[in-house]
Structure 1
Amino acid sequence: MKFTDRIHPTISKITSNQYNVWLVRVLVIIGLGWAYIWSLQGLKVNPELIKTSLPYMTDFLSRLLPPDLSILDVAIKALIETVQMSLWGTTIGAILSIPLALLSARNLSPIWLRWLASLVQNAVRSVPSIILGLFFVAATGLGAPAGTLALGIYTIGYLAKFYQEAIESVDQRSLESLQVSRASWWQIAQYGVMPQVLPLCLGYTLYMFEYNIRAASVLGVVGAGGIGFELVSYIRGFEYNKATTMMLVLLVVVTAIDALSSQLRNKFKVD
């Protein structure tokens, strides 16, 4: 048999694989294009309506300026309350997320337990933060306690999923060595999983803390305390200049926390 006869099937196989990859990519692009067209039709965007709305949008923005700095002390006080809500809400959510993530991980728990834990995660994520805020306002009344509890429960739905993904990405060989030595489930989680995922989970927690500061401002709509409560009060009273001051203070703090948390997350990744 000639050399060309021997390599011909290999060349044909490579060509066939390349054709299949190309075909899959084309189908994916077509599918994405159809999805975007379908979504745009559902939005029913009217360019003429946007054009006629521009004067109203410009008028609204003009009312926001200049900011009224006379309420800066009120803004700072409300911002401190927002940070306190976010700190405790994130901490509560992170603590409760750890066991839920361990129970959801496919490399630690049986399928029936994973299914139940994942169901709890999905149930928590499906409830909007506004609904949680309304629930806890009804339970504890207006103010920061309701917002803190709402942020804590809201945090569970996301941090538990992030923690689960981190746990499932650990080195399986370390878990197998512990299993061979007849370590208990808790010992495997404590000595085989947690040391590997702790830096990544700390980074996720910092990101969630940063996000919760913005989420806390939204909870003010339902009276759950923080800077959002003051912001909504000013907007409802048509005091847009004061609302601008609230947003500027929130912008400064969120930017500072974002920069700090980014540095800390990078440090955790390096370590």
Structure 2
Amino acid sequence: MKNLTLLWSNFWNRYTWIVRLIILAIIIVIYRWALSGLQVDFGLLKDSYPYIVDFISRLFPPNLSVLDIAIKALIETIQMSLWGTTIGAIISLPIAIASSRNIAPQWLRWLANLLQNAVRSVPSIVLGLLFVAATGLGAPAGMLALSIYTVGYLAKFYQEAIEAVNPRSLESLRVIGASPSQIAQYGILPQILPLSLGYTLWMFEYNIRAASVLGVVGAGGIGFQLKSYIDGFEYTKATTMMLVLLVVVTIIDAISSQLRHRLESMS
């Protein structure tokens, strides 16, 4: 085994270009395989260009008569995202602690990671449909769907932050007899707080967009109004909704990016 490793090391050092060509060939084969499975008809795409132009032309000019409706729906979307992200963040923290290899025992990590994977495997649309069935149409269903959707991602982000904590600080606390809750409170939280707040801000920004998608299944917010106008072929009103969403998402993105940079510089 040792000789085989030595031979491979010598071959890699001597014929690096051959190895790179082999890797490139494998990548090309994988992408060709993926493209063949898609069965893309490039001729059909070329012929569909006039239909795309026709659809886009129906979106303009925006109908500003629904601007007040768009703003009200947008406020509802932000409220859904704010509460959904906050609830999801609170639930995510204990799950992240339970799934971190530098804190939790193996059996608990296995269960916590299984829970994370289960949540991430459920599309947001399905969560929206589930809570619409439970609470009816409107923003409460969207808020609950966003809460669960947030857990699937923030728990993983928090877990990565916890596992990157300096192990010496945790070992020092264990030596003096600190309990697991004290280790989490004094050894982990101060180190991960700036990074975790940055992740939470990013998730809030993302949930603004996700909330607009959940509106398609009746979970409230600007997405519900957007779908209603598209279903009624009122495309210029739908454009107003999209433009308002674009402006607000751009502003929130700029603000949260600045806050994330400041928080990361503190970590």
TM-score (normalizing by structure 2): 0.94
Runs of 4+, deviation exceeding 6 Å: none
SS in 1 for 2:48: helix
CA 13–243 in structure 1, closer or farther in 2 if over 3 Å, else same = closer
Q: Which residue of 1 aligns with 2:245?
A: 250
- Separation in structure 2 between the aligned mates of residue 158 and residue 20 of structure 1, nearest angstrom: 42
Which residue of 150, 163, 167 corresponds with 2:145?
Answer: 150
> Is 1:34 aligned with 2:44?
no
Per the TM alignment, residue 26 of structure 1 is displaced from its structure 2 partner at its CA by 3.9
Which residue of 166, 178, 193 corresponds with 1:198?
Answer: 193
CA 108–82 in structure 1, closer or farther in 2 if over 3 Å, else same = same
Percent identity, aligned pairs only, is 69
The one-letter code matched in structure 1 to 2:177 is: R
The one-letter code matched in structure 2 to 1:131 is: V
Q: Which residue of 1 aligns with 2:209?
A: 214
Per the TM alignment, residue 18 of structure 1 is displaced from its structure 2 partner at its CA by 2.0
Any residues of structure 2 matched to 1:60-71 within 5 Å, and which?
A: 60-71=55-66
Which residue of 235, 246, 261 corresponds with 1:266?
Answer: 261
> Is 1:181 aligned with 2:176?
yes
CA 210–49 in structure 1, closer or farther in 2 if over 3 Å, else same = same
The C-alpha deviation readout for 1:49-84, integer Å capped at 9, x for no partner, is 001111111100000000000000000000000000
- Separation in structure 2 between the aligned mates of residue 13 and residue 236 of structure 1, nearest angstrom: 62
> Is 1:135 aligned with 2:130?
yes
Which residue of 90, 96, 101 corresponds with 2:91?
Answer: 96
- Separation in structure 1 between the aligned mates of residue 201 and residue 193 of structure 2, nearest angstrom: 12
The one-letter code matched in structure 1 to 2:41 is: N
- Separation in structure 2 between the aligned mates of residue 170 and residue 57 of structure 1, nearest angstrom: 51
The C-alpha deviation readout for 1:179-224, integer Å capped at 9, x for no partner, is 1111111111111111111100000000000000000000011100
Structure 2 unaligned segments of length 5 or more: list them: 1-6
Per the TM alignment, residue 30 of structure 1 is displaced from its structure 2 partner at its CA by 2.7
- Separation in structure 1 between the aligned mates of residue 204 and residue 133 of structure 2, nearest angstrom: 25
Which residue of 98, 115, 124 corresponds with 1:120?
Answer: 115
Q: Which moved more, 1:140-149 or 1:27-36?
A: 27-36
- Separation in structure 1 between the aligned mates of residue 11 and residue 175 of structure 2, nearest angstrom: 44
- Separation in structure 2 between the aligned mates of residue 118 and residue 267 of structure 1, nearest angstrom: 30
Per the TM alignment, residue 25 of structure 1 is displaced from its structure 2 partner at its CA by 3.9
TM-score (normalizing by structure 1): 0.92
- Separation in structure 1 between the aligned mates of residue 223 and residue 9 of structure 2, nearest angstrom: 60
The one-letter code matched in structure 2 to 1:55 is: P
SS in 1 for 2:60: coil
User: Residue 59 of structure 2 contacts residue 239 of structure 2 at CA under 8 Å; is this kept in 1?
Assistant: yes
Across the two proteins, how many residue pairs are aligned to each other?
Answer: 260
SS in 1 for 2:220: coil
The one-letter code matched in structure 1 to 2:136 is: G
Structure 1 unaligned segments of length 5 or more: list them: 1-11
The one-letter code matched in structure 2 to 1:47 is: F
Per the TM alignment, residue 33 of structure 1 is displaced from its structure 2 partner at its CA by 1.7
